[in-house]
């Protein structure tokens, strides 16, 4: 009876997800979506300007908050149309995430194409004791986000293979890795490629209120470091206590042979890892040595290493790129993937070639955000929303909880973290700022909600790939199977991550380097 009920539940999940997938498939491509939104802003701006739509509130002017009335500006005027055409290129080239993401990917791409990331993941899992295999797989899944999407194609199938090698259900290993890679996408011990992307969008949105505000790329660092431990613990408990026992009840067993080369670290790769490790340690020691002197060029005018306008903080993306680039080159030279500098340059070119879709999205989203800025619509919405929330007086904690849940719900219908943040940031970041809260706080709440539901939405880019991986072990696996397996993780992450964030705020702890809650 229990098996029958379980089967009915999976069928129900499958029908529900198919409905979501059908709705999601009707959405246009993200590039087309932002182009449509930009056109919509042009039309709305003309209507609002004709109606004299305005809002009054406190905005930063000359470094001080002043009572200001903001009126909508139309893009369908002579000046507006001139702005659209004359600023299209500058809107794109000044788009904050553009340079940061591309620079970070230069280093990460070299490490990935050299084979370093793949070998490092295999080696780490290979030397792990059996009792620690679940937390290690989840933990590595979280850390793999530094390399952008590499964890999806490397660690998730590897997690299934490792569990199988230890005599455990491979689907549980796949689920544990998927939970870490995708469910914990925002958590990490290191600054990854997602951080500069979201920070750039946040800073653009913050400038709607305060053109001088600088969003710290490490502004969420402390809480996300703690979140790495939290997601690892929660992922381990859900895997061992909920997911794997349920999978065993269905009798799912291995149905295919695995390629041993995918789990074996060769002697040459071991030598390459040692060389890469030495290069990484030397590089980190050099960076530390350069940071220590009081007159270091990494420090700002006040002598602060992590303060505002610190070259160290502002240059963290370059330092991260080098952290991957140098060990990647060292590894590639040993194993033969980089025979000469031409191969290294080709790897950099390949990593840039993979960013084509991002560049197309960046162009249209940059226009959308700048149109929002020019028309004053974002500022008007923020002032009106802030006024409503101030009158409602619901307080910080309820505001945070509502925004996290809203972000999690939005993620079910739009998979791209940056695409959603491009839409939400121009509205919610200014709104939080007008209520006296930092953009970094709003950004962190968004990341919690966005990550928690990644693993249950078929609109996530790699969802179909995960289904394919699962079918190696269960030929009947489909969308419903994956969602039924991952739903406990999603619920657990959303609930306990939100509770932890609320406790963190209640204790008044800083959420990142030099970043509190209030402006």
In this structure, what token pair is assigned to residue 496?
Answer: 């306990």
**Burial readout 312-331 (b: 16 or more C-beta within 10 A, e: otherwise):** bbeebbebbbebbbbbbbbb
Closest CA to 173 of 124, 136, 145, 119: 136
The pLDDT-based confidence of 44 (bands split at 50, 70, 90) is very high
Residue 354 has pLDDT above 70, yes or no: yes
Give pTM, 2 decimals.
0.67
How much of the chain, in percent, has pLDDT values that exceed 90?
Answer: 30
- 44-58, 124-138, 273-287, 457-471: range with lowest mean pLDDT: 457-471
Residue 434 pLDDT > 60, yes or no? yes
> Across 181-195, 252-266, 269-283, 392-406, which has the greatest mean pLDDT?
269-283
**pLDDT reported for residue 84:** 94
Report the pLDDT value the prediction gives residue 184, as an integer from 0 to 100: 82
How far from each other are the two terminal CA atoms of the chain, in whole angstroms? 57
In this model, does residue 421 exceed pLDDT 50? Answer: yes
pLDDT for the residue 459: 61
Position 150 confidence tier, pLDDT thresholds 50, 70, 90: low
Name, of 81-90, 205-214, 250-259, the range with top average pLDDT: 81-90
pLDDT at 485: 83
pLDDT band, residue 439 (cuts 50/70/90): very high
pLDDT of residue 55: 83
In terms of average pLDDT, the best of 35-39, 344-348, 484-488 is: 344-348
C-alpha dist (Å) from residue 5 to 8, 12, 50, 129, 301: 5, 10, 59, 36, 66
Is the pLDDT higher at 130 or at 281? 281
């Amino acid at each position: 009876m229990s098996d029958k009920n379980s089967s009915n539940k999976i069928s129900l999940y499958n029908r529900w997800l198919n409905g979501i997938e059908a709705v999601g498939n009707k959405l246009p491509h993200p590039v087309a979506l932002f182009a449509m939104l930009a056109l919509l802003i042009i039309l709305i701006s003309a209507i609002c300007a004709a109606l004299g739509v305005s809002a009054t509130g406190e905005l930063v002017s000359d470094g001080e908050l002043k009572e200001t009335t903001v009126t909508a500006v139309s893009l369908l005027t002579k000046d507006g149309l001139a702005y659209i055409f004359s600023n299209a290129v500058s809107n794109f080239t000044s788009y904050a995430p553009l340079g940061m993401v591309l620079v970070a990917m230069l280093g990460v791409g070299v490490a990935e194409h050299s084979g370093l990331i793949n070998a490092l993941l295999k080696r780490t899992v290979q030397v792990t004791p059996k009792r620690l295999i679940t937390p290690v797989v989840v933990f590595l899944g979280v850390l793999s986000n530094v390399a952008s999407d590499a964890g999806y194609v490397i660690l998730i199938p590897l997690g299934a293979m490792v569990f199988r090698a230890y005599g455990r259900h491979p689907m549980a290993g796949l689920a544990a890795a998927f939970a870490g890679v995708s469910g914990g996408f925002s958590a990490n011990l290191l600054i990854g490629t997602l951080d500069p992307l979201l920070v750039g969008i946040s800073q653009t949105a913050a400038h709607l209120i305060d053109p001088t505000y600088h969003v710290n790329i490490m502004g969420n660092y402390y809480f996300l470091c703690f979140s790495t431990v939290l997601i690892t613990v929660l992922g381990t408990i859900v895997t061992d206590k909920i997911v794997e026992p349920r999978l065993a009840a269905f009798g799912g067993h291995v149905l295919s042979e695995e390629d041993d080369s995918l789990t074996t670290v060769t002697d040459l790769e071991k030598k390459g890892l040692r060389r890469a490790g030495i290069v990484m340690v030397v590089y980190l020691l050099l960076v530390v040595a350069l940071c220590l002197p009081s007159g270091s060029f990494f420090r700002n005018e006040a002598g602060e290493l992590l303060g505002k306008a610190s070259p160290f903080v502002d240059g963290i993306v370059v330092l991260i790129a080098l952290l991957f680039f140098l060990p990647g080159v060292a590894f590639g030279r040993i194993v033969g993937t980089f025979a000469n500098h031409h191969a290294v340059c080709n790897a950099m070119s390949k990593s840039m070639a993979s960013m084509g879709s991002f560049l197309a999205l960046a162009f249209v989203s940059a226009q959308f955000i700048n149109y929002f800025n020019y028309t004053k619509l974002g500022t008007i919405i923020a002032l009106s929303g802030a006024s409503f929330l101030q009158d409602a007086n619901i307080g910080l904690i309820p505001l945070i909880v509502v925004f996290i849940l809203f972000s999690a719900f939005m993620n079910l219908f739009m998979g791209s973290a940056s695409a959603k943040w491009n839409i939400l940031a121009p509205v919610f970041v200014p709104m939080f700022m007008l209520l006296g809260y930092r953009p970094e706080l709003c950004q962190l709440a968004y990341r919690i909600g966005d990550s928690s539901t990644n693993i249950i939405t078929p609109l996530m880019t790699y969802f179909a790939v995960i289904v394919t991986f699962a079918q190696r072990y269960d030929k009947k696996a489909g969308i419903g199977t994956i969602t039924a397996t991952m739903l406990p993780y999603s619920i657990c992450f959303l609930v306990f991550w939100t509770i932890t964030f609320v406790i963190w705020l209640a204790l008044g702890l800083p959420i990142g380097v030099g970043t509190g809650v209030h402006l």
